[in-house]
Structure formats: structure tokens, C-alpha cells
């Protein structure tokens, strides 16, 4: 008997971290909807990867990565797959003037197939603490506050059996909790139950302390063919003895600030047998023997000197740097009252702190834990290292500039967490 292919629509898809986890668990995407141009290009490149993988022609993708030139987009790859694969990525801002057109495009992609699950996380600047701090009172007027209402419209139109809605913890407290209360009421009014839980990625096989609200919803009274009711997936907390420097970073060749380019083929310095975490998490999931995008951003000597102090302090005292306590000649900001943790080292002997989109602006919050750093060797993490912290596989290619790649990575749902959610939901279906 052929196993049923379960389908999903990915809203506010970003670079596809959530989607990748669902594909890995055996789901098939009908459509990805995303407003950011470079994230859409990344989604197209990944859709092409999955197409070639399914056809046992993965060498076409491998050859493409090897021959790719700096400054190109993925067009040469996209031209080699059917148009239907590429058109499943819809670049659009979801809003009142676009929703009908998006529905039409999704309808034509869907044909007569059912939609089993809708997944996605509306952009959360309006709910995040950083977003509120940055925007002040303007945050109340931000149209992104209302995006959850469009998510509900997709539920109403496509009637999936279940949905997954990911967001920051501020969802519970923004505007005194009104959007969250409203979301629950709207979902209830169209025939769904939902349950929120806070999940920490570090408890589910990701080497990153990342807390997010994962809401799972299901049709009221919905049951699978065995008569079992749908509900929140059972996500067992896992003990994980792996660490960032030894188990996640150590097979990538050393880099100094400014070294590398996005399309350079980078060979591993250790065999996969020596890197069990990378194997178990499917980060090194292909037999290519190389990765790409191991590119470090440049830093001035002043910052590299601060990085050295930050790493030294972390190694000696297990404490992050306090900006106000830096020697005066290194302090370039007048503000010594707030944002005192603007320089942070990625913890080498445990899990990293949360990777966020601000990594696209500078690397100060993600200093590489270089053993015995000097001003010459100190740097922040590379694009590939950031992607690994988010558990993206090494054959994942992020389109756009270095900054665009960092932004896509910072906004993503860790792939391994997404996979564990998807796997449990598939059992219910």
C-alpha cells in the first residue's frame, strides 16, 4: 500500500526552517508564502534540491554548488526543474489588498488535494521585547500586529486537520495579551481548538537555548482513521551532552575576520565518524564532503580587541562582557547604561544563546569562542556556523548577500525542532 503523502502550506515561510523539518518528516509542501525576496530565492533553491533528491539526481545540485559564482542568484538551478516546483514559492506580503490573489494562486497549486496542515509564524517584531524597545509607542500601530488574523483566514479557507503557529514569548503579553486572546477566539469561532506551549530548542536536540511559543491547533472533534483524537504532540525532553565548539564547529576549517566567500566550496577537516552530533542531527546529511557559506564578516582592530577580552573573560569566569567595564579606549559608544551585553561569546562548552535576526547587523553578540584568541584570530561566527546553530543542513544554500543570509537564519525555526514536531503530528494523522 502506498503511504499517503501529507500536505502543508507554509505561511510567512522565511528561509524554510519549519518547512524543512516537515519535509524531512515526509510531508509535501503545496505552497510557501513569504514577502522577503531573498528568503523566497532560498526557498526556490531548496525546492529544487528536494526535487533532485526525489529523482535520485542530487548530483545536479552538487555540481551546481561547486560551479556557482559569487553574485549570481539561483536562476541556473531553477531553470533545471519544472516551473511548478518554482511557482510553489509565492513572494507576497499577506494583507487586505493581496489575500484574494494569494488564495487564487494557492488554489491552482493545490488542485483537488486536501491541505493536511498549515504551518508558519507571522513576523513578530511587534511582540518581541527588542521590537518594542526599538519602536516605542509606534509598535502599537505596526500592521504586523494583525497578521495572525490572515493566518486564521487561511485556516478558514483550506480547513486543514491541524495547524502549527510559531511565535516569540511576547505573544502572550503584547498589548496586555489582547492579540493572543483574539487569536484563540477567532480559531475557536471557525471550529478549531488550540493549545500553546513554550518549547526550548535545546531540549529537543538543538545546540541553542531558544524559547518560542509553539501553538498547535486541530479541528474540534477531529480524529484520524483509527478513531484517535488530535491533540498537542508529545514532545519528550531530551538530555544532550553535545557542545558547540567540539561537536558543531570543529570540523570546519579555521577562519579569520573577513575570510571566505559565500560560494566557496569548503572541505571538512574531520570525517563524519568523528562528528556524531552532525550525523544524528542530519546537519552533515549529504555525502558531498563539503559545505559552502563559511564566510566571516570583517571587523576593525578595536572590535577584535574587545572580542579577545570577551573570550578570555568567558573562559576564565564563565561571564559575558559588561560594556561599561571595558577600558575607556575601547568604548566607542556613549551609552554605558543600557545594552551592556552587546558583546557576547557563543558558549563553547554548552549551548549557544538565541540566534536572532540582529546577527545581520553586526557580529558582536555572536563572538566565535576561539581558543587562545589574538587580535589577528578573533572574529564573529560565519554564516555556516550560524546556520548550524539553527540546525540547518550543510547543503542548505541561503540566497542573497551575507547580511541577507544572516537575517534569514536568525528569523528561522530550528530545523531539528521543526522535524520533531512534524514527526509527532504525522503519527496523529
Residue 387 to residues 126, 306, 368, Cα–Cα distance (Å): 25, 24, 14
Output the DSSP codes for 295-339. -PPP--HHHHHHHHHHHHHHHHHS----GGGS-GGG---S--SS-
- Does 124 participate in catalysis according to the annotation? yes
Spot the catalytic one: 40, 124, 261, 308: 124
> Which residues are paired to 267 by β-bridges?
290
Give the CB-side neighbour count of residue 30, counting CA atoms within 13 A: 25
Nearest to 205, CA basis, from 378, 411, 351: 351
Q: How far apart are CA 358 and CA 363, in angstroms?
A: 9
Q: Which residues contact 334 (CB under 8 A, 6 or more apart)?
A: none
Tell which phi-psi region holds residue 150, choosing left (phi > 0), alpha (psi between -120 and 50) or beta: alpha
Based on the number of CB atoms within 10 Å of its own CB, is 346 exposed (0-12), middle (13-18) or buried (19 or more)?
buried
Tell which phi-psi region holds residue 205, choosing left (phi > 0), alpha (psi between -120 and 50) or beta: left
Contact by Cβ (8 Å): 94, 33: yes
Looking at the annotation, which residues are catalytic? 124
Amino acid at each position: 500500500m502506498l503511504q499517503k503523502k501529507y500536505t502543508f502550506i507554509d505561511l510567512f515561510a522565511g528561509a524554510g526552517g519549519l518547512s524543512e523539518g516537515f519535509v524531512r518528516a515526509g510531508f509535501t509542501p503545496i505552497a510557501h508564502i513569504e514577502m522577503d525576496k531573498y528568503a523566497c530565492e532560498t526557498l526556490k533553491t531548496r525546492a529544487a534540491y528536494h526535487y533532485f533528491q526525489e529523482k535520485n539526481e542530487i548530483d545536479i545540485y552538487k555540481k551546481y554548488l561547486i560551479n556557482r559564482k559569487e553574485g549570481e542568484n539561483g536562476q541556473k538551478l531553477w531553470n533545471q526543474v519544472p516551473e511548478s516546483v518554482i511557482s510553489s514559492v509565492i513572494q507576497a506580503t499577506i494583507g487586505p489588498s493581496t489575500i484574494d490573489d494569494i488564495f487564487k494562486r494557492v488554489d491552482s497549486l493545490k488542485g483537488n488535494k486536501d491541505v493536511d496542515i498549515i504551518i508558519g509564524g507571522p513576523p513578530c517584531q511587534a511582540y518581541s521585547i527588542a521590537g518594542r524597545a526599538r519602536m516605542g509607542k509606534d509598535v502599537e500601530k505596526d500592521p504586523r500586529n494583525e497578521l495572525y488574523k490572515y493566518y486564521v483566514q487561511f485556516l478558514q479557507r483550506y480547513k486543514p486537520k491541524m495547524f502549527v503557529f510559531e511565535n516569540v514569548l511576547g505573544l502572550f503579553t503584547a498589548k496586555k495579551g489582547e492579540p493572543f486572546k483574539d487569536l484563540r477566539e477567532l480559531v475557536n469561532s471557525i471550529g478549531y481548538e488550540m493549545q500553546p506551549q513554550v518549547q526550548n530548542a535545546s531540549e529537543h536536540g538543538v545546540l541553542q537555548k531558544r524559547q518560542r511559543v509553539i501553538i498547535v491547533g486541530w479541528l474540534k472533534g477531529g480524529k484520524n482513521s483509527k478513531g484517535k483524537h488530535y491533540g498537542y504532540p508529545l514532545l519528550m525532553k531530551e538530555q544532550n551532552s553535545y557542545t558547540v565548539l567540539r561537536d558543531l564547529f570543529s570540523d570546519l576549517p579555521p577562519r579569520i575576520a573577513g575570510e571566505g566567500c559565500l560560494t566557496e566550496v569548503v572541505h571538512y577537516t574531520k570525517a563524519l565518524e568523528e562528528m556524531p552530533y552532525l550525523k544524528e542531527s542530519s546537519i552533515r546529511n549529504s555525502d558531498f564532503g563539503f559545505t559552502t557559506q563559511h564566510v566571516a564578516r570583517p571587523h576593525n582592530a578595536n572590535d577584535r580587541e574587545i572580542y579577545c577580552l570577551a573570550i578570555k573573560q568567558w573562559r576564565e569566569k564563565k561571564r559575558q562582557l559588561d560594556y561599561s567595564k571595558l577600558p575607556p579606549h575601547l568604548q566607542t559608544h556613549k551609552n554605558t547604561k543600557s545594552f551592556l551585553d552587546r558583546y557576547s561569546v557563543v558558549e563553547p562548552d554548552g549551548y549557544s544563546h538565541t540566534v536572532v535576526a540582529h546577527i545581520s547587523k553586526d557580529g558582536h553578540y555572536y563572538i566565535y569562542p576561539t581558543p587562545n584568541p589574538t587580535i589577528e584570530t578573533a572574529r564573529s561566527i560565519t554564516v555556516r556556523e550560524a546556520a548550524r546553530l539553527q540546525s540547518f543542513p550543510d547543503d542548505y544554500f541561503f540566497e542573497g548577500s551575507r547580511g541577507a543570509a544572516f537575517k534569514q537564519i536568525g528569523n528561522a525555526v530550528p530545523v531539528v525542532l521543526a522535524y520533531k514536531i512534524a514527526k509527532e503530528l504525522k503519527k496523529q494523522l
